[in-house]
Structures are given as C-alpha cells and as structure tokens.
C-alpha cells in the first residue's frame, strides 16, 4: 500500500503500518481466528454449488499467448518448408525471423490491449487492433532483417503467405476464444470467486458497482458480517448474508475463495484491523473497497475490478504462473531424487520389513494446503502395535516405541523419503512449511492454541523440507517456543518465496541434516 492523496485528515500511513504488523507480530500472541466455526446449513448449500474448479484469467491469457506464439511460428515454419526448402544455414536464419516476428506480434497485441478480458470477449471489437499489430510486427521484422543484413533474401510469396495465413488464424482463433470466454463465464470455468466482508449500505453500493461492470470476471458468492439484522440485513442487493466472519474462514476453505472484499470505509480502522487479523490466514487476495470514499489514490496504491477501486492489502501467495513454476520445479527435482536415491528406497524398505512386523509404509493424516486433510507417507519407524497415527504423543529421545532401524531412519530423515510420492501426487511440495499431524500438540495444547496465525502456514502447500528445518527447527516440538519460532520461519518463507529460495533450501537440506541433535 502506498500513501494516499486525500482531501480530509486520515492517517493512512499509520493504517499501513498496523496492517503490516498483523503478519510480523510475535507468533505467540493469541486470537480467536484459529478456532474453527461450524457453517450454517445455508452457507453449506451455497458452498456446494461452487464445487467446480476454476481457472484464473491470468492463467488462461498466459496460455493464449503461448498458443498464439507457437501457432504463428508453426504456420510460418510450414510455409517456409513449402516455399524455400532451406539448407541448415538458411533454416537457422528463417527460424530466427519466424521467432522474432511471432514475438513482436505478441508484443504489439499486448500494447493494443489485445489480451484484456473486454477485448477477448468481443472479437469484432478487437480484430482491427490485432490485425494492425500483426502488420506492424511484419514491418518491424523486415526492418530487423535489413538492419542485421541477414544473407537470405525474403521471398515476396513467402512473406505474403505467412502474413495472410497468420491473419486468418488470428481472426478464426479470436472468434473461437470470444465464444469460449463467454461460455466459461456462464458456467463458472473462468471467474474469480469473491466474498463481501461487511454488510449494510456500503456492501450494497459495492455490489451494485461491481454488477454494473459487464466485463469483470467476479462471481459474488455471498456476504459475511458479524453485525445483527438492524445494521446488516439478511439480504443485501439480492445476495444472502451467509454467516459471521468466523464462519467465513470455514466457507472460504470449502470453495477456495479467490478474493475477499472488505466493504467498510477506510476510516473504520479498528474494525478493518480486527477483520484482517482473522482473514489473513486464508490463501486469498484481500482488498478494501475504496469506491464509497472521497479518497483519491495514486495509481500504484490500488487495483480495479472494472472501474471499482480496490486498496490492495494482502495477495494470495504463489499464485497463477508462480504456482505453475513451483509445480514444474517439484516434478523435475522429485524425478531426479527418485533416479538418484532408488537404492536408498530399496535398502530402507528391506530394513524396515526385516526388523519388525508390519507394513513398510506408515500413513498419517496431516494438514495440507488450505487446511485440507492429506495422507502423508513415511517409512515405518515404530513397532506396529505402538504406532501413533494421530501423533498426539510426540516421539521423544530414547522413545521405546521406535525400532532400532526406525531410530536410524528418523535421525537421517530417510523415513521422510516416501513423501516424494506425495509431491508427485500434488499433495506436497518439495519445499514448504512442514505438514504437522492433525492432532499434534505441545504439552496439552494444540499448535493453533499456542500460535496466532498458525493456520496461515497452510496458505501454500506443505513441503518435504523447509526454511524452518534448515535453520535448526527440526525434530521434537516439546515447548511453546519451538512451535512459535517454527511458525515464524514458515511465514517468512511464504512472504519471501522465490524459486531461488526453494533451490537454496533444497541444496542446503542434505548438509543441515548432518545435525541430528533434535531428531529422535
């Protein structure tokens, strides 16, 4: 959030600092936000209607760009093979020309707003701009050809064929895309699911403003507010109030809400901060609607839904193409690990089987992304009749439940290797906050009772290894401080994620595993 230009007295810098403190406060401070709430029947029925997986416009438009580049290049390549039949040197020159022309076409179409949702919805409206962009790309490519003195002369028939074929492709493709996007908008495939936080007249005005934007991709799923009927009616602008803010957290986990919009004036600072302390644990964008105020923002301070200004507070971590990159990272390095470590897998499996009766693999329910329950795989390290699937009683030093082989597997972390299969299934990432057992606790309190914002670590997929582990927070959690600091490191990782950080953690993990002081 940047500073705001405003006609009235309002300390937005102080509000910005307080919002920042929500994420950076001591992990031991308590809040009711950790306590789950049971949804009412109406909210559950509404949530059931949003079971279909959705795809964000950012992802679909990104795939469109990739498809259009590939198609324009492929069309030019086919024509080149037909007209020129080039030798190897000529083939390289033509390939460079084709790649440059296709890339320039995408750049000019981007500059002409050709990848904005309103343009994608209406092919007739967009085509003049797209054809102009395609023409400019040809002119620019020809200039590059002359400037760099490429040896092969362009055949006029080759140029004309690629230009016409490319133009025909863009026309047909954009009409198909426009039809598809309208269809996806109707059936909910391409939409952002939004929940309005706060009721009364501000929520009504916000909903009316959003509904007037014909080209936005927002689907309003409902309204949540703690206030009673006098200040916040049960029906607002045709949408039902589905429950309290505590119930919203459970609702958002069921349907994977994309954006939470707080419909309160910025001057209601205390109320906004109370809401943010409860809502920031969710993997969703959080915005404050600025449509009703008299405040004028600087351009970088806010985003828009149509023409409705939104003050950006929190962004969903590792979203859209970042999530694709992280998934590709996970799959690639998981396959590399399997190729390198398969003898270790086989040796550990044989040792577990021969050392004690019972299955080789131990399965345990743990918290996954967005608090979903997942079943995590490990090599069995305990005697079968003494195993504790709930992990309510943590393993301690010299624990008699652990087999001799299991003690070695746990100290070396070899028992965690089967979780690579969880990664390939998409339940875990290689790097992320470690998944804790559902009933795990320290002393007689669950982790969420000890740490405010504990569930915020579930805004991303849990990992086989993590930032906390390579910084020494590994093994038994037998005190409040250990879970507090582990959570603090996990939240740091989420806020500062990058592929480079993942690679650093992955490379440091084998080195840090040499310290077995807290591994029992």
Q: Where are the beta strands (DSSP E) in 268-360?
A: 285-289, 296-297, 302-305, 308-314
Going by C-alpha positions, the residue among 52, 49, 68 that lies closest to residue 60 is: 68
* Strand 235-236 relative to strand 259-262, pairing: unpaired
Strand, coil or helix: 490: helix
pTM: 0.79
Work out the pLDDT band at 443, boundaries 50, 70, 90. Answer: low
- Please choose, from the candidates 412, 400, 402, the residue with its C-alpha nearest in 3D space to the C-alpha of residue 380: 402
Is 6 a residue whose pLDDT tops 50? no
| The pLDDT value given to residue 35 | 52
**CA-to-CA distance for 256 and 194, rounded, in angstroms?**
10
**Which residues have CB under 8 Å from 419's CB, separation 6+?**
376, 377, 378, 428, 464
Distance CA 296, CA 298 (A): 7
CB 3 within 8 A of CB 298: yes
On whether the CB atoms of residues 134 and 68 are closer than 8 A, the answer is: no
pLDDT of residue 36: 54
If pLDDT is split at 50, 70 and 90, which confidence band does 15 have? low
Q: For residue range 342-373, list pLDDT tens digits in order.
A: 999 999 999 998 888 889 898 888 888 888 88
Can you tell me whether residue 250 is helix, strand or coil?
A: helix
Across 210-224, 323-337, 408-422, least confident range: 210-224
- Segment 205-216 mean pLDDT: 80
Mean pLDDT (the chain, rounded): 81
Question: For position 499, what pLDDT does the model report?
Answer: 93
Nearest to 393 by CA among 478, 453, 322, 320: 478
Task: Report the pLDDT averaged over residues 327-350.
Answer: 94
CA dist 253 to 51, 196, 284, 424, 489, Å? 12, 15, 10, 23, 23
Q: Is the pLDDT of residue 222 over 80?
A: yes
Per-residue pLDDT at 143 exceeds 70: yes
Is the pLDDT confidence value at 151 over 80?
no
Least confident of 30-34, 280-284, 515-519: 30-34
345 vs 2, more confident: 345
Please state, in angstroms and rounded to a whole number, the distance separating the CA atoms of residues 441 and 426. 26
Residue 186 has pLDDT above 50, yes or no: yes
Q: What pLDDT shows up at residue 72?
A: 92
Question: Per-residue confidence at 37, pLDDT binned at 50, 70, 90?
Answer: low
Assess whether pLDDT exceeds 50 at residue 3.
Answer: no
Q: Is CATH 3.40.50.20 correct for 4-28+191-314?
A: yes
What local confidence, expressed as pLDDT, does residue 5 receive? 37
Distance CA 495, CA 420 (A): 24
- Which of the residue ranges 178-187, 205-214, 342-351, 408-417 has the most confident prediction, judged by mean pLDDT? 342-351
- Predicted local distance difference test score (pLDDT) of residue 430: 94
Give the pLDDT band (50/70/90) at residue 432: very high
On the question of pLDDT at 154 being above 60, the answer is no
**C-alpha–C-alpha distance, residues 331 and 354, integer Å:** 32
Q: What pLDDT, on the 0 to 100 scale, is given for residue 390?
A: 65
DSSP 321-333: HHHHHHHHHHHHH
Chain segment 459-488, per-residue pLDDT in tens? 999 999 999 888 887 766 767 778 888 889
How confident is the model at residue 147, as a pLDDT? Answer: 65
Q: Rounded to the nearest 5 degrees, what angle is found at the Cα of 22, between the Cα atoms of 24 and 283?
A: 100
CA neighbours closer than 13 Å in the CB half-sphere of residue 355: 21
Q: Report which of residues 188 and 284 the model is more confident about.
A: 284
Name the band, by pLDDT with cuts 50, 70 and 90, for residue 447. confident
The DSSP bridge pattern shows strands 302-305 and 308-314 to be antiparallel
User: Which pLDDT value is given to residue 373?
Assistant: 87
- Count of alpha carbons within 13 angstroms of residue 215, beta-carbon side: 11
pLDDT: which is higher, 309 or 266? 309
Domain ranges of the chain: 4-28+191-314, 57-187, 321-512
Residues 316, 255: Cα–Cα separation, whole Å: 15
99-132 pLDDT tens trace: 888 999 999 999 988 888 878 888 888 889 999 9
Question: Can you point out the beta strands (E) in 36-147?
Answer: none
Residue 373, SS3? strand
What is residue 492's predicted lDDT score, i.e. its pLDDT?
A: 92
Report pLDDT digits (tens) over 389-425. Answer: 666 666 767 678 888 888 888 888 888 999 999 999 9
SS (H, E, C) 417-445: CCHHHHHHHCCCEEECCCCCECCCEECCE
Q: For 398-513, where are the E strands, in sequence order? A: 429-431, 441-442, 445-446, 463-465
pLDDT at residue number 95: 82
Between 68 and 183, the higher pLDDT residue: 68
Between 506 and 80, whose confidence is greater?
Answer: 506
Share of the chain above pLDDT 90, in %: 23
Q: Please determine, for residue 2, whether its predicted confidence score (pLDDT) is greater than 50.
A: no
* Higher local confidence (pLDDT), 249 or 213: 249
Mean pLDDT, to the nearest integer, of 371-386?
86
Six token digits for residue 83: 């007209």
| Nearest partner of 410 among 519, 325, 304, judged by Cα | 519
């Amino acid at each position: 959030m940047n500073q705001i230009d405003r006609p009235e007295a309002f300390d937005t810098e102080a509000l910005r600092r307080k919002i920042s403190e929500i994420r950076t406060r001591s992990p031991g401070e308590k809040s009711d936000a950790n306590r789950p709430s049971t949804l009412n029947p109406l909210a559950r029925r509404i949530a059931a209607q949003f079971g279909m997986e959705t795809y964000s416009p950012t992802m679909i438009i990104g795939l469109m760009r990739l498809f259009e580049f590939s198609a324009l290049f492929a069309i030019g390549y086919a024509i080149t093979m037909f007209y020129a039949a080039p030798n190897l040197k000529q083939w390289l020159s033509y390939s460079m020309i084709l790649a440059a022309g296709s890339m320039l076409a995408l750049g000019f179409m981007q500059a002409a707003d050709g990848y904005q949702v309103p343009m994608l919805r209406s092919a007739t409206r967009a085509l003049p701009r797209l054809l102009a962009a395609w023409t400019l790309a040809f002119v620019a490519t020809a200039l590059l050809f002359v400037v760099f003195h490429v040896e092969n002369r362009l055949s006029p028939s080759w140029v004309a064929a690629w230009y016409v074929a490319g133009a025909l492709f863009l026309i047909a493709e954009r009409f198909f895309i426009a039809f598809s996007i309208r269809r996806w908008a109707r059936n909910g495939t391409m939409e952002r699911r939004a929940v309005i936080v706060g009721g009364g007249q501000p929520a009504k005005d916000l909903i009316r403003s959003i509904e007037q934007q014909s080209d936005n991709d927002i689907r309003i799923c409902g309204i949540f507010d703690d206030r009673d009927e006098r200040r916040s009616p049960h029906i607002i602008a045709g949408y039902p109030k589905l429950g309290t803010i505590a119930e919203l957290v459970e609702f958002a986990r069921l349907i994977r809400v994309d954006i939470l919009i707080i419909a309160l004036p910025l001057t209601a600072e205390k109320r906004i901060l109370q809401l943010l302390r409860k809502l920031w644990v969710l993997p969703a964008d959080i915005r404050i609607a600025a449509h009703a105020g008299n405040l004028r923002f600087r351009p970088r301070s806010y985003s828009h839904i149509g023409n409705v200004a939104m003050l950006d507070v929190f962004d969903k971590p590792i979203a859209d193409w970042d999530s694709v990159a992280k998934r590709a990272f996970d799959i690639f390095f998981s396959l590399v690990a399997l190729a390198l470590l398969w003898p270790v897998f086989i040796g550990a499996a044989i040792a577990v089987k021969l050392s004690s009766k019972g299955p080789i693999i131990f399965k345990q329910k743990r918290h996954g992304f967005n608090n979903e329950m997942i079943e995590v795989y490990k090599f069995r390290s305990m005697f079968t009749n003494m195993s504790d699937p709930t992990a309510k009683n943590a393993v301690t030093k010299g624990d008699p439940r652990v087999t001799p082989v299991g003690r070695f597997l746990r100290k070396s972390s070899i028992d965690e290797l089967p979780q690579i299969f969880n990664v390939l299934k998409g339940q875990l990432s290689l790097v992320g906050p470690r998944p804790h057992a559902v009933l795990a606790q320290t002393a007689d309190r669950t982790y969420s009772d000890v740490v405010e914002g504990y569930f915020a670590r579930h805004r991303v997929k849990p990992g086989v290894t993590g930032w906390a582990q390579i910084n020494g927070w590994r093994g038994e959690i037998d005190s409040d401080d250990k879970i507090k600091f582990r959570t603090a490191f996990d939240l740091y990782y989420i806020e500062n994620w990058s592929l480079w950080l993942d690679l650093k953690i992955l490379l440091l993990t084998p080195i840090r595993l040499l310290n077995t002081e807290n591994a029992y």
